[in-house]
Amino acid sequence: MTLASMARKYEARKAPDRKVATSAMIASLAAEGYETVAAPFGHALVEQARGDDRIVGLSADLSKYTDLHIFAQAMPEKFYQMGMAEQLLMSAAAGIAREGFIPFATTYAVFASRRAYDFIAMAIAEENLPVKIVCALPGLTTGYGPSHQATEDLAIFRGLPNLVVIDPCDACDVAGMVPEMVAHNGPVYARLLRGKVPTVLTRHKPDYKFQLGRAQMIREGRDVLVVSSGIMTMRALDAAEQLAAENVDVAVLHVPTIKPLDKATILSEAAKGGRLVVTAENHTENGGLGEAVARELMLAGTHVPFRMIALPDAFLEAGALPTLHDMYGLSVARVVAQIKSWL
């Protein structure tokens, strides 16, 4: 929260002169020109569950907003509505996992990372149970302010032993991560893009397929290497196309698995000399992808020009998503401007 927003918090409110639309606060993240897929997580989970009786779904009164309603409608006998009780959600998921099932527990990322953390740590991660925690509204993907903006969830969960952490970019990643999560014999935390999710990666790399623990080069480039995760891979690819018109050649390395990090691929690409290395993430600058990559570069003795695109260490404003993304440096225009300023 900025000083200006803190001051406004205590100003007297007056009725607006006109009706104020709020739809932009929860607008689709789809960029122009990208096709979208409706509820890729829900449909992928149904497909997996048809061939695996161990899969069940649980929600903390948010099935419609985590696309788990698709699963609930298709397989009501495998769906559990736990109500607005995230600690209970995680504890129940742990108990179900102990009975041999693979529970997918869904809620908002803020509620899992802040409200239910100790239950995830003690009941799930310490016991290394195959609970899959899938959470919507990661980072700055809602305009509803700090109560719903999970800007620090990766930092929180990266420090938890046994837990795999995923930050998907698009519908391809979301659908592709589901079978890999099922196959992984342990707990997983995955950020979730829900609703109408853009299809990005296969447009730039037709043979792209999500692989747990693997980073993949989506676009080659000689001047800049952007190491990105989540929706910032989409932003980086769009920025790279704009910068190409100005003779700036940008490579984009997509890192959908934050933990375990694909150190070998990141170090190999960073070692290809002469390029500015930039990390881009929809997360606070503290404890996320940027710091993880910087750590590996330093430990390996790989000395390259390095910059980070990330959210500030602050509680963020509420408002329309396009405005907020531009304000905090996540828009394509801001990514382009920042990279140009560093060259």
185: left (phi over 0), alpha (psi -120 to 50) or beta: beta
Name the E strands within the chain.
36-38, 55-59, 79-81, 102-108, 132-136, 164-166, 188-192, 196-198, 216-219, 224-228, 250-254, 257-259, 276-284, 306-311
The DSSP 8-state label assigned to residue 19 in this structure reads: P
Active site residue 86: yes
How are beta strands 276-284 and 188-192 bridged, if at all? unpaired
Cβ-count burial of 184 within 10 angstroms (0-12 exposed, 13-18 middle, 19+ buried)?
A: middle
Extract the tokens encoding 225: 């290497």
Bridge partners of residue 55, in order along the sequence: 102
Say how far apart CA 102 and CA 107 lie, in whole Å. Answer: 17
Asked if residue 167 lies in contact with residue 327, where contact means CB atoms within 8 angstroms, the answer is no
Which of 35, 86, 180, 269 is catalytic? The answer is 86
Extract the tokens encoding 257: 């698995």
Greatest distance between any 2 Cα atoms in the chain: 59
Task: Give kind and range of the element (H or E) at residue 177.
Answer: helix 171-183
**Residue partners of 164: CB distance under 8 A and separation at least 6:** 184, 186, 187, 188, 189, 212, 213, 257, 259, 260
Instruction: Supply the residues annotated as catalytic.
Output: 86
